[in-house]
Amino acid sequence: MMKITKQYVKELILEELTKSDVKKLVDDAIEKNEKRVARELPKEIEKELQKMLKSKDIKADIGEIAKKVIKKLYKDLSFHHPYIIDRIKV
């Protein structure tokens, strides 16, 4: 039969307190970091997009995509909804 000493009980309690304290500290650190990232991420994305949009290649790509979208929209409107185009006043 195992004998439980007062010292053993103290060590167990101290160990559990230490585990919960460490867990709380880690959880707090994670939460703080998540808040910081959530605040800074949109700013960083905006900076990167501004850098990219200054590039002539990106501007050309965006222009080509916009042209394709407009062409498809025009085709769809003219074939499936011709009355919309007839309503446009020139």
Sign of CA dihedral 62, 68, 71, 77: negative
Backbone angles phi, psi at 27, to 5 degrees: -60, -40
Q: Across the chain, what does the average pLDDT equal?
A: 83
Q: Render pLDDT for 35-46 as a digit per residue (tens, 0 to 9).
A: 888 888 889 889
What angle separates helix 56-80 from helix 6-53, to the nearest 10 degrees? 80
Q: Cβ–Cβ contacts within 10 Å for residue 58, how many?
A: 13
Instruction: Please report the pLDDT score of residue 68 as a whole number.
Output: 92
